[in-house]
Amino acid sequence: MAHPDAAPPDSHLHLPSLAAALVVMLVSTLYPPLYLSAAGTVDHGLAAALFAAMSAGFVRGVGFVPVLPVWRWIFSGWSCLAALACAGCLKFLH
């Protein structure tokens, strides 16, 4: 539980995270074959990484910053970037 005297986290739009989430959303909607592997099957690891990046990007991008540290880390810009990097590795190095 957070200390009652602790200052609330700084909450404002985080444009890089919001932009990443919007790009993932639009590309996923407009080009679903992105999620296909070379064998023609759905790459669930890639989908999970991109959707995790999109979720973190939207939460942080609209300015919501959770109070608990674990949730703050999960929905941070850095976790959005890490999930995008993971998705890139899964798509282009696999």
What number of other Cβ atoms are within 10 A of residue 60's Cβ?
27
Question: What is the enclosing helix (H) or strand (E) of 12?
Answer: none
The parent domain of residue 83 ranges over 15-92
**Residue 32 maps to a domain:** yes
**Residue 88 maps to a domain:** yes
Nearest to 50 by CA among 73, 26, 68: 26
Q: Taking the model in full, what pTM does it have?
A: 0.85
User: Which pLDDT value is given to residue 4?
Assistant: 60
pLDDT by 10-residue block (mean), the chain, 94 residues: 60 92 97 92 96 97 94 96 97 87
Q: What's the domain count of the chain?
A: 1
**Residue 1 maps to a domain:** no
**Residue 86 maps to a domain:** yes
**Residue 2 maps to a domain:** no
DSSP state for residue 13 in the 8-state scheme:
-
**Residue 24 maps to a domain:** yes
Contacts of 61 (CB under 8 A, 6+ apart): 13, 14, 15, 16, 17, 18, 19, 20, 21
